[in-house]
Amino acid sequence: MTVAQALRDATARLAATSDTARLDAEVLMAHALGCTRSDLLLRHMTGEVPPGFAALVERRLGHEPVAYITGSQEFYGLDLTVSPAVLIPRGDSETLIDAAREAFADATPQRVLDLGTGSGALLLAAATLWPQAEAIGIERSPDALAVATANGRRHAPHAQFIAGDWTLPNWSAALGRFDLVLANPPYVEDAADLAPSVRAHEPAQALFAGPDGLDDYRALIPQIPGLLSVCGIAMIEIGWTQTEAVIALAQAAGLTAKLHHDLGGRPRAIEMADPRNKALGKADLRD
C-alpha cells in the first residue's frame, strides 16, 4: 500500500471520531516518517507506508489528541513539546498575545509573568516577541514545570519557570510587579460536556474550576492589582460565556476591564489594568 492510499483509509476511519480526520492522518503519517507535513505531501505520497503508522491511527481512534501522540504542538510560530501533563496550547489563546502586542504598541514590557504556564506557551511567545523582557512563568504541577522548562531551553533560555500555586498564601511574595501578566487559568465548569479527547486526556487541573468554572478567577483576580506595575496590564483568557462574570471580578478588584475576541469572533480575553494606567505615558512603563 502507498502512503497516499494509507492516508485515504486512515481519513475514512478517523472521520468517525475526529472533525479533522485528513489533517490528523497527515500529521500522524509525517510523524511516522520522521518528516514535516510539507515533505510528506511533496515527496512521500507514492512511497511505502512506515511500520509505525497503523498504531498511531489506533491511538487517535481512541480519542488521544494528535499533539500528545506526536509530542508537539505549534503555538505562535513556536514548536512546543507537549505531554499529558500540560494543556495542549490552543490557537484561540494566541488572542492574548495579539491583544498584548496591540496594547503595548511601540512600547516594550520590561517584566512579563505567566500564571499557570503549563507548556510555557504564552510566556515563550511573549519572550520571543520582547526578548529584552524578564520573563517568569509560574506553575503548580511539577510535571508541567518540567515541560515548560524544556520548552524554555529551546526557545527562550533566559525565561524562568518557578513552582507556585496562587491558591496558597504568600505564593507571590518575592515576585515583584509586572508590566504584563498573562494567564490561561482553568475555567471549565466541572460538569461541562467536553469532547472525550479533552476530558479523558488533558489534565483536569488545567481545565476545571468548580461548578461555574470561576473558582480560579475568584482566587486570582483580587491578587492582580498587587502584581501589576502602574502602567502594567493583565491579559486573562476566559471561556466565551464568562465575559460578564470576569469583568465583574476585575471591577470588584478595582481594575478596568476590556474584552478581546478570538479569530472566531468569540469573547476570549479580558485586559485588566489600574484605572490610573490610561493617564500615564506608554514610554514610562516601570513603577
How many CB atoms neighbour CB 255 within 10 A?
23
CA distance 71 to 55: 15
2 or 241: CB nearest ligand GLN? 241
Q: Cell for 82?
A: 507537549
Smallest gap from Cβ 117 to ligand GLN, in A, equals 12
41 or 195: CB nearest ligand GLN? 195
Please report, as residue ranges, which positions from 106 to 165 form the binding site for ligand GLN (by CB under 6 A): none
- 96 part of the interface to ligand GLN, by CB under 6 A: no
- 207 part of the interface to ligand GLN, by CB under 6 A: yes
Smallest gap from Cβ 184 to ligand GLN, in A, equals 5
Smallest gap from Cβ 187 to ligand GLN, in A, equals 4
x/- letters, 236..255, toward ligand GLN (CB under 6 A): -x------------------
Please report, as residue ranges, which positions from 162 to 191 form the binding site for ligand GLN (by CB under 6 A): 184-188
- Count, residues in the chain: 287
271 or 274: CB nearest ligand GLN? 271
Contact criterion met (CB below 8 Å) for 89 and 79: no
240 or 244: CB nearest ligand GLN? 240
Find the binder of ligand GLN among 13, 59, 63, 90 (CB under 6 A): 90
SS3 letters for the chain?
A: CEHHHHHHHHHHHHCCCCCCHHHHHHHHHHHHHCCCHHHHHHHHCCCECCCCHHHHHHHHHCCCCHHHHHCEEEECCEEEECCCCCCCCCHHHHHHHHHHHHHHCCCCCCEEEEECCCCCHHHHHHHHHCCCCEEEEEECCHHHHHHHHHHHHHHCCCCEEEECCCCCCCCCCCCCCEEEEEECCCCECCCCCCCHHHHCCCCHHHHECCCCCCHHHHHHHHHCCCCEEEEEEEEEECCCCCHHHHHHHHHHCCCEEEEEECCCCCEEEEEEECCCHHHCCCCCCCC
Find the binder of ligand GLN among 15, 61, 146, 198 (CB under 6 A): 198
Smallest gap from Cβ 67 to ligand GLN, in A, equals 13
Smallest gap from Cβ 104 to ligand GLN, in A, equals 23
Smallest gap from Cβ 131 to ligand GLN, in A, equals 26
Question: How many chain residues bind ligand GLN (CB under 6 A)?
Answer: 10
The answer to the question of whether 264 is labelled as a binding residue is no
Q: Which amino acid is at 2?
A: T
41 or 198: CB nearest ligand GLN? 198
Smallest gap from Cβ 118 to ligand GLN, in A, equals 9
Can you say which residues are annotated as belonging to the binding site? Answer: 116-120, 139, 166, 184-187
Can you say which residues are annotated as belonging to the binding site for S-adenosyl-L-methionine? Answer: 116-120, 139, 166, 184
Can you say which residues are annotated as belonging to the binding site for substrate? Answer: 184-187
Binding site for ligand GLN (CB under 6 A): 87, 90, 184-188, 198, 207, 237
